Amino acid sequence: MAIFSMRMQVIGRSAGRSATAAAAYRSGEEVRDERTGKVHDYTGKSDIYGSEILLPVGAPERLSDRVTLWNAVERVEKRKDAQLSREVMIALPAELSHSQKETLAREYVQAEFVSQGMIADIGYHDFDSHNPHAHIMLTMRNVDEDGFGKKRREWNKRQAIERHRQAWEEYANRALERAGFEERIDHRSLEAQGIEREPQIHLGAKVMEIESRGVQTRVGDESRRISAANYDIDQQAAIREKLLAVTARDQGIPEAPKLIFSNESGSELNQVLPTPIIESSPAPISQPVKPSAVPSIEPELVRRFGEALVRRRDEMILENSPVVGELSAVIGKITAMMNELSAAAAEVAGKIDEVLAKGGKEQAATDAKLRQPQQLEGGQAMQSDGVAEVILRHIDPRDLARHQAQIAEAKKTAPSVEKEQEPVNRQEPSKQRQQKQAKKRDQGMEL
């Protein structure tokens, strides 16, 4: 099945990579790195179908040799974090023959990259499997007879990458059309296409080799999860379509006839299907006209059916989950604990109500006692009028009792005013007599 898959990356020294090692791996050849002296040998790689190097106009012929080309790239890049090459990986349509795959890749690379001045090293992989693809290593500098010049930063811009993606869609679809296939690819994302599917991930040669030995990998598990989710989505879509068809049939909606046209032009189709001429009727129509059946779909029915499918899927997942029993037991314990707490809270609330009720009765008895008329010392009753009663209601009975006790104690200990004044009254006449007698003695002495 033809699918759109394009990945771009930069091969750089900052990640510990080299252009010579990448070229050897993608071509399945032996390449010696003159800078480090290391030999990269991938001649035993089995998934290589072929490889080739495409040179732009003005490039020296010596760079068509893979060892010479990538050692020249390694020499011209001096920085320890230098970017050595750009790589483009494209998935080739499995419907095409091997020669058609090569021709398609070569035409695309020549038009999009080589024509701009890049040298392209193409490696064809997995042509006999369900995942045929091509690795394209591209140089990043101008090249002429003297070798490499300045780097072309504009080749890495986002606008250029988007243009390459769209161009690959056009080239692949033209190749499929020439080969007589109806399949087409689309460079847009699934969301932009309005497709409710999760994008699949690329496994890669190493992952596929490990998986082929029966060892499950994290990438492989994620790919299988995505495939299962997409299968579920496709099944739901098929069920929805079937439900809509059944609903239309139950409502008596006739199925629309399928019209198959040949390759007539638009003018010929208009002649075959002329537009009917509607004439105004001179007299009113005596009999009612039966309206034509118009297809109608109940959106609410479709929505409810989709929700039921989702609920059923969740239930199946929960039923197959090994932790459902443990979760149920924990939930049961939590429920019992909550019931015990609720009972204890109700008991405490009842006791609080009893205490409050008892306190209310005592307060009512105290208020009634205070509202009764108070007896004075002389035995006369002190009648409280409306104002006094209101005042007594707002006085704490304990404070009132304390003040009354203080007043009684003060009355017992305070001396009588009359007793304090009596000695003064008794002493005043004797003092006057003594003064008179002293005056008389003084007068006698004078005589």
Query: 66-76 vs 19-27: helix axis angle to the nearest 10?
Result: 160
pLDDT in tens, 47-100: 899 999 999 999 999 999 999 999 999 999 999 999 999 999 999 999 999 999
176 in the same domain as 73? yes
* Residue 162 belongs to domain with CATH number: 3.30.930.30
In a domain, 391, yes or no: no
Same domain (yes/no): 240, 105: no
Q: Residue 108 above 70 pLDDT?
A: yes
**pLDDT tens, position by position, 221-238:** 888 887 787 777 777 777
Q: Are residues 50 and 169 in the same domain?
A: yes
Least Cα distance to 141 among 192, 202, 76 occurs for 76
Residue 307 has a pLDDT of 77
Instruction: Please indicate, yes or no, if residue 315 is contained in any of the structural domains.
Output: yes
- For residues 93 and 36, state if they share a domain: yes
Is the residue at 66 inside a domain?
yes
What does the pLDDT average to over 8-31?
94
Query: Which residues, listed in sequence order, are joined to residue 85 by a DSSP beta bridge?
Result: 11
- What are the backbone dihedrals phi and psi of residue 131, each rounded to the nearest 5 degrees, phi first? -130, 60
Q: What integer pLDDT is reported at residue 367 of this predicted model?
A: 63
Asked whether the beta carbons of 210 and 217 are under 8 A apart, the reply is: yes
- pTM to 2 decimal places: 0.49
Do the domain assignments include residue 381? no
Lowest-pLDDT choice from 25-34, 106-115, 289-298, 353-362? 289-298
The single-letter DSSP state of residue 263 is: S
In terms of domains, do 163 and 37 share one?
yes
Greater pLDDT, 154 or 234: 154
| pLDDT for the residue numbered 394 | 59
Considering only residues 71 and 275, tell me which one the structure prediction assigns the higher pLDDT. Answer: 71
Residue 223 to residue 262: CA distance in whole angstroms: 42
Closest CA to 197 of 165, 166, 223, 226: 226
Cite the DSSP H helix spans in 28-65.
Answer: none
Would you state the pLDDT for residue 377? 44
One domain for residues 182 and 34: yes
With respect to residue 63, please indicate whether it lies within any of the assigned structural domains: yes
Per-residue model confidence (pLDDT) at position 372: 56
Q: What is the number of domains present in the chain?
A: 2
Choose the final residue of a domain: 187, 207, 234: 187
- Taking each helix axis as running N to C, give the angle between helix 324-371 and helix 397-413, from 0 to 180 degrees, rounded to the nearest 10: 40
**Domain check: are 137 and 216 in the same one?**
no
Closest CA to 91 of 224, 209, 201, 222: 201
Local confidence band at 341 (pLDDT 50, 70, 90 cut-offs): confident
Can you list the positions of beta strands (E) in 365-432? 374-375, 381-382
Among residues 135, 156, 187, which one ends one of the domains? 187
Angle CA(58)–CA(63)–CA(68) in degrees, nearest 5?
155
Residue 151 included in any domain: yes
Lowest mean pLDDT among 54-58, 306-310, 377-381: 377-381
User: Is there a single domain that holds both residue 59 and residue 179?
Assistant: yes
pLDDT in tens, 398-438: 777 777 777 777 766 655 544 444 444 444 556 677 777 77
**Residue 326, domain member (yes or no):** no
Whether residue 203 sits in one domain with residue 130:
no
Confidence of residue 149 (pLDDT cuts 50, 70, 90): very high
Range of the domain at 138: 6-187
The mean per-residue pLDDT over the stretch 286-294 comes to: 45
If you search the block for the tokens 């091997």, which residue do you land on? Answer: 98
- Asked whether residue 178 falls in the same domain as residue 202, the answer is no
47 and 66 assigned to the same domain? yes
pLDDT band at 283 (very low <50, low <70, confident <90, very high): very low
Q: Specify the range with the lowest mean pLDDT, choosing from 68-77, 205-214, 233-242, 376-385.
A: 376-385
Residue 410 belongs to a domain: no
**Statement to judge: residues 29 and 105 lie in one domain:** yes
Give 3-state DSSP helix, strand, coil % of the chain, rounded to 5.
55, 10, 35
